[in-house]
Chain A
Amino acid sequence: MNESGASGGGSWGVAGLLLRKMTLRHWREAWFSYLTLLAIVAVGVGAFNGIRQASRAASANFGLFNEAVSGRSDFFIERGEGVLGEKDLAVLAEVAADPDWHLLPVLEGSLAQLDEAGAAVRQLRLVGMDLVSIGNLPGFIEQGLELGLTGGEWYDFIGPRDLAWITHSLAADAGLEDGAGIVFVSGGRKQTLKVAGVLGDAETGLPEDLVVADLPTVQSVLGRAGEIDRLEVLLSDRERRADPGYLESIRERIETQLPAGFSLQATEERAAERAGMTAAFRLNLMILSLIAILVGAYLILQALDAAVVRRRAEMATLKSLGVRPELLFRICLLESLLIGLIGSLAGIGLGYLLALGAVHLLADTVNALYFATSAEVIRLTPADWWIGMVLGTAFSLLAGWLPARDAMQTPPAQILSRGDWSPGFSWLRKPQVGLLLLLAGVGALWVPPPVMAGGSKMALGGFLAAGCWIFGAALLSGQVLTGLARLGRGLSGRAVWRLALSRLADGSSRHRLAVAGLVVAVGMVTGMFQMVGSFRGTIERWFDVRFQAELYVSERGVSGAGTINGIDPDIMAALRATPELDFMDALYIERVDAPMGTTVLAGVDFSVWENREVEQIWLRPIGSLEAAEGAEPAVVSETFARRFDVLSGGSVILGTATGPRVISPVGIFSDYGNEFGSAVVDLPVWRDWTGKARAINTSLYLNEGVEVNTLRDRLRLEFPGLDIRNAGELRSLAIGIFDQTFRVTAALNGIGIVVALAGLLLGLVAIFEESSRTWQTLDHLGFSKKRLLLAAGLEGAGIALAAWVAGSLIGLALGWVLIAVINVQSFGWTLLWQVPVAGFLKFGFGLVAAGYLCGLASGAWWHYRREQV
């Protein structure tokens, strides 16, 4: 082979030959390493794609549960002022007469299904529609649905107020058959619905938690006579609805026919509003999963580098034979490309599986935090394919570039003579870049947060700072490693210790790379530890201060923002009549439009607060701010104040059901209930503005001397549809909901750590491979296998320790950014920064132990291979 033979078109031939003879041979020989490598790319791509698909599916249907039955609507009809209700339908009958569309009134609520012992076992979504007219809907017809009226005339099913239709999956899971009773609580009342039939079959794919009933039945069950939630417009022609021109012509026709006081809104507009509500949530998830793929990229780099190390002698020989360095570079890149392509393909599949597993987790989170949703079927879109392939391949190529350059630059003479020359990561020895990145991170803190759709703010500066600091710390981690190793030299004089520590103190590029990768993962995990811990601690403190009542009452089965029906006013009145009661502090809430997205308008009876000390964590106590003239005085949450820029007073216009209303803060309290902010007004005002009458919960303050748990037990018997808890029980419930919302974060953290440890293992294998001659020499000098393994273990433990120290330091900074910058900017709440020291120590111990085991494993692998040879 000569140089001319390796140029021009012939160079591709040579490349192919080398790929076959060298690369693929190595793949065959070290199949386990490459399989691990492919798995790493797959995990990275899978984590990113899986989270993306799952979050999309979890918040895709925006709580419109009827879509599963009726098909997706095209428009909504809204009232300009006042709450849309059944009374409006007669006025709209003329609009409904046009055969080009269907008007679909819908009322939705939630049920908590009870088992025989009376425990809530399942949260169900109850959807009320006109069960006769849905038979006209093209979506209903297209799906081949029928109500399956069994054994009776049509009026046997439409007239009664206790019949419901369930989905095939619910029937199977809950063992419910036609005629079976579903015992549940809703609105604080225990009730029973009878299964009239099963909708669809196993193939229909309706949400498991969907229960459909005639609209008057749902009104009766929810105690909402005369109410409807919305009036949807579905076009008859399902094909032409995709044509914007046709949609526009329909919009014009409907608007022409709409009576005064009503308006039309496109579903897409509402969907965009909902999408805006979860934009920050989804973005945070994306960033977390991107970190996972970054750690993955680091692993690819490490593994490819290990591959180059293994083939260094071969490459030197090839170069001596005249193969051009550029060709070696190309082959290495081609290898990266192959790994990227194959790994990405596997990652897309893995992501799909991950999404299947995570979607319900995410749907629960969206339910708890934002709005009612039901996980949609996970779908792989063309975009998922593209993003997965491009992401995996691009990161592989990027990661493969340094080792490829290394391969290209390897001087044959030096390699053949020395064996462990390694120029590739010389930049890891230069602290300047790392320091610059740390400084850049500080500068990024001054970047103002851009406002996203839906009104939430994107903490761009915080994320940039976090990114800069992570990479800066990764680059500087080598210094920590060598510094610690030097310090440790004096601790023991044993040969194994001295050997391991001297190798670490040398700080080869490969050692530094292993530490750097681990630092990224450790920093991420410890940062998140702090944030979650601080959040938890703050909430606990908030509970201690805010919740002073003896008993807390809420609708049974309610587990989050999306499942609230409110307590029946009759039941509230009965509660109020309890003789042991000193006073009752009820909370009423309603989502309202705000200048950017939505916010929460709450109502409390201020007269109850008079002459009583109201415990709150006040950012600005009541009275410290003066209400703007002409505006309704309100107590607002910190989130609200930051979001609408009224920390120092001012006014905000809210779009309520009865028209625009102006509120002005007179006090600001800390609140961690939602990221949209809350404005609290006096109850009569709230009722007037919203037209609603249902409290979502109430606190019971008891007369002195009342035995709390005895009263609680008595009230539970009296009101089986209510959840009645003492303060301790409420606290554990709230913490449970809190923990649930961070389950996804914990899962991503876990993925990051697993990937990082896999990287450590690969890195150590590469280190041992590269130091073969050293080990062989030691072997010849009588260094036993046991001591070799011990040295390897110590080396691994040392790397882990250095990564833990550097990672924890940067993790502290990350924790601060997450708490003081990202949370404040994204969610508008101030958390008390708490460092979980014990957790840090435990994590460090575990990490060092894992590093030690990785070292042992890589040493054993090296030994095994040597024996094989």
Chain B
Amino acid sequence: MIAEKIMQQTQVETLKTYQYFWQLIRFRPRYYAKDLSGVTIHFALSTVQGLVLKAYFDGLTGVGGLPVWQVVGVQIVQVILVLLSLYVAVMGYVNFTQHGMSLLIRNLFRHILKMPGGQALPNNQDGSTMTTGQVVSTLRDDVDEMAHSIIIIDDTVALSVTALISFTIMLRINVWVTLGTFIPLAIIIVIAQRLGGRAKSYRQASRQATSDVTGMIADMFNATQAVKVGHAEERIIARFRNLNDRRRETMVKDRFLVHLIDTLSGSTVDIGVGFILLVAAQAMYEGTFTVGDFALFASFIWPSTHLMRTIGNFLTRYKQVGVSTNRMEAIMQGEPAGAVVAHHPIYMTGDLPAIPFSPKTAVHQFEALRVKNLSYRYEGGSGNGDGTDGIENISFDVARGSFTVITGRIGSGKTTLLKVLLGLLPLQTGEIWWNGELVSDTTSFFVPPRAAYTAQVPRLFSESLRDNILLGIPEEQVDVAGALATAVMTQDLLSMENGLETMVGPRGIRLSGGQVQRTAAARMFVHDAELLIFDDLSSALDVETEQQLWENVAERMKDEGGRQKEVTALVVSHRRPALRRADHIIVLENGRLADQGTLDELLQRCEEMQRLWQGQV
């Protein structure tokens, strides 16, 4: 049902950009107020600088003004205030943006974790699933874009206030000089902003050329062996040079335009002073425009042109934020628009929330699992990449203490079946009953201590082995050593210098495929769950290790005196060691149930089972 909703939702609903801004401002109003007031005072004080200069020169030339020691005094006070307000603004900015970005990241990521795990990442517009890299780029760049665009509002407000004060002062001094200077400057800046439109297409071309180059580098170093084997080093570099040349051409164009725009809109102070000289020549000649006035006008050019530039930037940014909100809302599939800026605790100070841990009690005890008429179709008929279209109308029972194997050839739907059962894919049609009760929300039901699962290609995180196995559950309440032993991991650990503290991932060691799989198995055993679900655990293990592992699982399945140890295993496998142990085998063929029963029965009557047993598929 959720899946259908997602499918229909090709058009992402969003709020107006200012509504997002407003929600974020309301999230940390005090930090925001500090930035806004700080930056406004900071810029407004620059008008004082002009007035100080005017007072000095007027005093010097004897047309009013202030005596020099007062000028110095005012200047010192001005500088202190400018720096104080800057500090308030900077820290307000840091705190506001960091909190705002953290809230956005928290909301986006928390939502992803709530989605069925096998389908957590949203789709692109063309229907393909986003890669993790794409999602990370939204979490980083789009979040950044939104938080920082709000800050530009502050600059705009501050500069507007400053400009308003400046223009009032200048107009009162001389209307014509004011207009004569600033109208031409405004025209230049508008032209520069117009050029910005063209910059976009240049930027696109240079980005494309750049990604061609990086793609080529990635290719050649991913395939170094093929390059060496084919003795293709020189030829690859020749191709690489071509791509580099194309990138250079597009880049130089792109960057030149940026320089041009910068020059037009940024370096206009000197040219502005020229305009003042031209327009004010008459008035100065007549003595109605003092040297002090000139000094004041010259010092007001920068804030005024800067304002025009900032407004231009803000308008562009405001439009771009629309793109970012779109991408963020696409991740928030299924939530009402605006949920991405909903207020939630982000724990930037104080203690982190306690991690809930529910030890196994009688409530969790597994009696029976019944799967009724389970069907699942992948969206758009694209399947899951290995030719599986989905599963259709599958029913079976799993009894307490049994060893049930789901088998079938590649693409027959084994993994899909497990994923739907576990809630890693949304439940479309069919029913799942646990101990005689209908499971309504599969995404949160099949978790420890009820059930635990090891994926076909398990993922470990860049943490210590200990943290990878515990994932937050309290170590003193579980049996880590026992879990490691069951997972046939004890020997491996002995060979590692740091034992359980060994870091996994780029900053630690690289585990072999088998070690990863056995660590994941240990992670599963440590939960001491009732129902153990394995997806083709053996694919990276050698036969002896696999045998040993099944022995250990069988050990766990036995009753052990008074202590309840009996667990149930549901296993996807096509290999003999597992099939031999099975109490019950479910054979899938093209997403349908071909047959089920014991190994002997199936070898007698089920052709697909015979083929699987002989390894002919």
Do A and B actually bind? no
